[in-house]
Amino acid sequence: MTATGYPVSEVLRALRGGLNDDDPDVVPAVHVSVPYRFTSPREPPLLEVKYGRENNPTTMLFENAVRIAEGSKWCLAFNTGMAALHVALEVLRGAGARRVVASRLLYGTTRSLLDRLASSGLQVHYYGPPWGQLLQAVKELAPDAVLVETIGNPTLRVPPLRGLVEACGDDCTLIVDNTFASPYLYRPATLSRKILVVESATKYIGGHHDVLGGVLCGNDTGLHEAAWSTRKMTGTVMQPLDAFLAARGLKTLHLRVEYSSRSAEQIARRLEEEPLVERVYYPGLRSHPDSATAREVLPGLYGGVLSFDVGDSQVAKAMLKRLQLVVPSPSLGGVESVVAYPFESSHRSLSEEEKKELGITPGLLRLSVGLEDPGDVLRDILSALRSARA
């Protein structure tokens, strides 16, 4: 077990299906059958395998491994991370949730989903950062649910999760999108029974830019049953080949996240010294507004994503065209380094005023550092930046 509390050996054993020495397979087979033979009902519905829209042995194997990785009581796998989040919110609405307080600094599509649900009756309130504003809102508004990201997209803000757990109390569910951290850097489900963890398995868990998926994990048995039932009705279960690929990625999660985190910190420190860069956002830097919180929450590794501001949109766009190694592309957490332009992509739906308040400026670029040599990545960025400035 690593210092992060991530149980590497348990996860790897789970991904072998708990196989013993008499089993010939080191890597379990992919189950592609949709219907399964009827058997006597020995298992509860959540564990019974009879039809692919409900359960699949390959998907269930992956779910069990993620459950161990996250430190939760249960886990369900979905065909996308947004599907997992949508089901989480719908399940809470079905349980009587009417008011949600959410961080303003969320993935743009997450905010779009919340706004759409708000049009059908859900009360959604956005507060923070600053995090004191969010904590105060939770205490005063007494919401049914709170939604934050462990490391916020795209300026990598780190909320006080323990403080939010205390502020929520027993009558509020804290939903944590743990995608940027992954369970290797943080395991929110271990904080409280009233936490739901959502992750895009497309990112660090899958890790190779070749699979779509999402997971929803928690500790409340009632929410597990409701989420499974909703997934069954909506047909959003992760498919077996996707589950196989995501499980394969999970095997190397600890190696990839550690390498990309160390590389990202090295690149962030160098960019902070670069005169052509106006600002760098990375939780491992002392200049980051949540540096102290990040040092308390994260295990000395601060993730493989950093953002930096090159001043204006013309320079940012010109730089993207001049990159040779780093790929201008959305997403993150893969073996290839990719750079995104949040102002006109992931967060384009926010108002100009709010983007400015959150630091999402026309010159901001978000870099997901992959497994290349960090020196090569840095040289490519600086070369493209200097050429764009010229």
pLDDT at 238 over 90: yes
The structural domain count of the chain equals 2
Residue at a domain's end among 251, 285, 312: 251
One-letter amino acid identity for 346?
S
Same structural domain, 222 and 325: no
Indicate whether 354 belongs to any domain. yes
Comparing 29 with 139, the larger pLDDT belongs to 139
Q: What is the CATH number of the domain that holds 158?
A: 3.40.640.10
Boundary of a domain, candidates 251, 268, 289: 251
Are both 348 and 359 inside the same structural domain?
yes
2 pLDDT higher than 60:
no
Tell me which of 251, 267, 285 is where a domain ends: 251
Tell whether 231 and 337 lie within a shared domain. no
Is the CA virtual torsion 231, 234, 235, 237 positive or negative? negative
Give, for 8, the enclosing helix (H) or strand (E). helix 8-15
The total number of residues shown for the chain amounts to 390
Residue 242 sits in the same domain as residue 260: no
pLDDT at 115 over 70: yes
Q: What is the DSSP letter of 195?
A: E
Catalytic residues: 53, 107, 177, 203
Whole-number pLDDT of residue 3: 42
**Same domain for 197 and 260?**
no
CB atoms near residue 131 (< 10 Å): 20
Query: Average pLDDT of 222-241?
Result: 97
- Residue 2 resides in a domain: no
Q: What residue numbers bound the domain in which 282 lies?
A: 253-389
Same domain, 273 and 243: no
Q: Which strands form 279-281's sheet, in the order they lie side by side?
A: 279-281, 305-309, 364-368, 338-340, 327-328
- Residues 170 and 48 both lie in one domain: yes
The pLDDT tens digits for 319-328 are 999 999 999 9
DSSP string, 332-390: -SSSS-EEE-GGGTTTTTS-HHHHHHTT--TTEEEEE--SS-HHHHHHHHHHHHHHHH-
Q: Give the DSSP H or E segment for 228.
A: helix 221-234
Look up the CATH number of the domain holding residue 318: 3.90.1150.10
Q: Are residues 185 and 298 in the same domain?
A: no
171/265 same-domain check = no
